[in-house]
Amino acid sequence: MSYASVIVFLDNSVASQRRLEFALQFAAKHQAHLTGIHLSYGSLMAYDPMGDVSGALIEWERENKEKQLEAKEYFAKCAKNYDVNVDWDCYRDSEMNGVLARARVADICIVGQPASDNYDIEVNRNFFTRFAISSGKPALFIPNKKEFAPVFEKIVVAWNGGRESARAVTDAMPLLKAARIVSVISVVSKNANNEDLPDVNIAEFLARHKVNVEIERDERKPAEAAEFILSRADLKSADLLVMGAFGHTRFSEFILGGMTRAVLQKMALPVFMSH
C-alpha cells in the first residue's frame, strides 16, 4: 500500500499556506499526485435580509472568485518548487457531496485543525468533523499554529481494539512502517465490555509488517482519554498521532465522539484519523 493520490484542503489563511507546504512535501515524498481544493462558504451566507439580496450575492460572488484566483495562483507558484503532479478545484462548504466524491477517489486527505480560529471563518467549522466521519478515507489533520514537515519517526497509536482503531492502523501502515518507533497506547475504559481485542494482537500484527512497536496500557475514563493520549504523545516527542475517528449520527448530522473532538481541539501535533 502507498499514497498515490493526495488531497489538500486550502483557503486564504496563513495556516493554509503552511498546510500547502506540508502537503507538497508529503506528496513529493510519496511520489503522489496532489489535488488542491479551495473551500469557501456557500452563497447563502451572503444574503442580507435587510438589504438588496441580489446585490449582496453579486458582491459575494466577486469576492469569492478573487479569493479562489488568489489561492490558485499561490498553489501553482508553490507547486513549481516540487517535482509533483498537481491539479486544482474549488468547492463551497455547502457542496459536501461533491467534496466527498473527490475524496473517495484519493488515498488520503490533508486538512486543517477544525478549531474555532481555523479557516478565518472561510468555511463552516463543522465541515471537517462531518467530512472525517463520512468520507471513508483517512484524514491527516495539521495544527494551525506552526509549521510541520511530513517526517514521522516517532508515532503514537491510540488503540482500543475497535473497528475505527483497526481501520486507522491499516490506513496509516505506510507511515508506521517508515517510523523509527511506534508506541501503541492501549486505553481501555474500566467499564469496557471486554469485546476489545487483546493488546498482544495489535503488537503481533504490526511486527509482521516489520513495524518497530512497543505497547503501553492504561485504564481511563472516556473523558480522560484524550488528555492522556496527548500527554503521552508529548512525553514521547511524537511526530504523529494515529487514531480512529469516533462519531454517531443525530438528526442526520455527523457528530464527533467526545474523545475525538477533544483531541482535535487540543492537538499540538499532526493527527491521522480514519473512521
Q: In terms of domains, do 15 and 114 share one?
A: yes
The pLDDT-based confidence of 61 (bands split at 50, 70, 90) is confident
Q: In terms of domains, do 25 and 132 share one?
A: yes
pTM of the model: 0.86
pLDDT at residue 49, rounded to an integer: 54
- pLDDT surpasses 90 at 93: no
d(CA 91, CA 240): 29
Q: In terms of domains, do 17 and 118 share one?
A: yes
Q: In terms of domains, do 112 and 203 share one?
A: no
Judge whether 155 and 262 are in contact, CB under 8 Å: no
Q: In terms of domains, do 15 and 129 share one?
A: yes
Query: Which of the listed ranges 59-63, 138-142, 216-220 does the model predict with the highest average pLDDT?
Result: 138-142
- Cell numbers describing residue 201: 494482537
**Closest Cα partner for 127 from 142, 116, 139, 114?**
114
d(CA 213, CA 215): 7
CATH number, residue 110: 3.40.50.620
pLDDT at residue 191, rounded to an integer: 56
The pLDDT-based confidence of 27 (bands split at 50, 70, 90) is very high
Judge whether 112 and 119 are in contact, CB under 8 Å: yes
- Cell numbers describing residue 212: 518497530
Share of the chain above pLDDT 70, in %: 79
- pLDDT surpasses 80 at 34: yes
- Cell numbers describing residue 49: 435580509
- pLDDT surpasses 90 at 167: yes
Judge whether 111 and 119 are in contact, CB under 8 Å: no
Return mean pLDDT, the chain. Answer: 83
- pLDDT surpasses 70 at 48: no
Q: In terms of domains, do 103 and 170 share one?
A: no
Spell out the residues 6+ positions from residue 272 whose beta carbon is closer than 8 angstroms to its own: 138, 139, 140, 141, 168, 171, 172, 175, 240, 241, 242, 243
- pLDDT surpasses 90 at 217: no
pLDDT at residue 183, rounded to an integer: 95
pLDDT at residue 64, rounded to an integer: 84
**Closest Cα partner for 131 from 96, 98, 162?**
96
